[in-house]
Amino acid sequence: MTNRQALSRFYLTLVPFLAAGVALGLGHSSPQLYLPIWLAHAALMAIAVWGLGKNCFFNPDPEQRQLGNIALLVIIPWIGFTVFAGMGPPPTSIPEWLNTVTEQQIRYSLLIAGGILITVALTLLANKLRQSGEQPYWLLGLLAMGVALPLFILNMAYWGSFLGESFTNFSAASLAKRPDWYLSMRALFNWISGVEVALLYLVTAAFGLALQSANWFRSKACRLYVFFSLVGALLGVLPSFSFEPLEIATYLVSIPAFPFIMPYLMALNLLNLANRIPNKFR
């Protein structure tokens, strides 16, 4: 790996963590401020991805090009997800939500589109793993993803559309108390969110085991993917506790983009290895 490729991989690895740190640390910023910064960052990400995998993208071997495309399908959504650094966390009050309703619609639309692209990538990856003859952990991952994706889309639509419409109606009617149907719906989606988040982490754990079984990645890396994914799945379904560190951890793993961090890191690893070792995955 050249110095440029090493720098590209280092930068790309930091992307989700830097974006999360800025979003949680600084909160919402003006679109006039964060959009130019995000565009510059998106260009840097594109340059870094090209530097890391250019030999793979135009490899005469179609198998190698497909591996590059699989990695790209997972990486591309994160170019969109990083705009959330400027948006900050979702608003916690109705006036704040209504003032940023367009941004919230964009946020959850990007998450839905990203979830679909990542599902396509994992499906293609599962087919490659099937051809390699490894143990069918990939099948468990696909089954979990098949259940998780509809729940994920439903949950994102609830946040991106239902809440905005509900808050607009509440403000127009000057309701001081939330209707019973709204409270029931919120409780329902708390359950849906917990199940969806746990399943998404289990998807990554299954694919981590599949990649280890196929000897595509180092065992240590795969064990880390599996460990952190299982921890995320457990935290995603835990009930609320008064223990503050645990509450914070549960909140973090439930942030919609966070279950896609492990697949993103796996995609970087896949792109790097496919670019360096042309016949590794045959």
Q: In the chain, what are the domain boundaries?
A: 3-276
In tens, the pLDDT along 193-238 reads: 999 999 999 999 999 999 998 888 888 999 999 999 999 999 988 8
In tens, the pLDDT along 12-65 reads: 999 999 999 999 999 899 999 999 999 999 999 999 998 888 878 777 778 788
Evaluate whether 215 touches 253 at the Cβ level (below 8 Å).
no
Question: Which of helix, strand or coil describes residue 34?
Answer: helix
Query: Look-up: residue for tokens 């090009």?
Result: 65
Angle at CA of residue 95, ends 37 and 248, nearest 5°: 65
How many Cβ atoms sit within 10 Å of the Cβ of residue 275? 22
Look at residue 173 in the predicted model and tell me its pLDDT: 64
Over range 184-191, report the average pLDDT: 89
